[in-house]
Amino acid sequence: MCCLLPVLYSTISYAEVDPAELIKNKEIGFEVTLGTQLDTRLPFTDQNGNVVTLGSLLKPGQPTLFVPMYFGCPRLCGLLINGFLQLIKELDLKQGSEYNVVTLSFDPTEDAALALKKQETVLHDVHRSDVTAKTWSFLTGKQEQIQALLAQAGFKYKFAEGEYLHASGFFVLTPEGKISQYFTGIDFSPWDVRLAMVEASNGGIGGAVDHILLYCYDFDPVRGKYTLTAFNILRFGTLFAVILFFLVAVKLSRRVARKK
User: How many Cβ atoms sit within 10 Å of the Cβ of residue 133?
Assistant: 15
Residue 128 resides in a domain: yes
Residue 179 resides in a domain: yes
| Model pLDDT, residue 110 | 97
**SS3 string of 207-229?**
CHHHHHHHHHEEEECCCCEEEEC
Phi, psi (rounded to 5 degrees) for 134:
-85, -20
* Total count of residues recorded for the chain: 260
**Residue 236 buriedness (CB in 10 A; 0-12 / 13-18 / 19+):** middle
Residue 112 resides in a domain: yes
Domain membership of residue 198 as a residue range: 2-204
Q: 3-class DSSP state for residue 147?
A: helix
Are the C-beta atoms of residues 157 and 147 closer than 8 Å to each other? no
User: How many Cβ atoms sit within 10 Å of the Cβ of residue 112?
Assistant: 16
Query: How many angstroms separate the CA atoms of 215 and 217, rounded?
Result: 6
- Residue with the larger pLDDT of the pair 10 and 171: 171
* Mean per-residue pLDDT, 229-237: 48
Residue 243 resides in a domain: no
Residue 91 resides in a domain: yes
Are the C-beta atoms of residues 27 and 160 closer than 8 Å to each other? no
* Amino acid code (one letter) for 135: T
pLDDT tens digits for 173-197? 999 999 999 999 999 999 999 999 9
Is residue 220's pLDDT more than 70?
A: no
Is residue 12's pLDDT more than 50?
A: no
Residue 214 resides in a domain: no
Residue 218 resides in a domain: no
List beta partners, residue 155.
30
pTM of the model: 0.78
pLDDT tens digits for 32-83? 889 999 999 999 999 999 999 999 999 999 999 999 999 998 889 999 999 9
Half-sphere exposure at residue 44, Cβ-oriented, CA atoms within 13 angstroms: 35
Dihedral, 199, 204, 206, 209 alpha carbons, nearest 10 = 70
Are the C-beta atoms of residues 98 and 62 closer than 8 Å to each other? yes
- The number of domains in the chain is 1
CATH number at residue 104: 3.40.30.10
Residue 212 resides in a domain: no
- Which residue from 132, 139, 126, 71 is spatially nearest to 100, judged by alpha carbons? 132
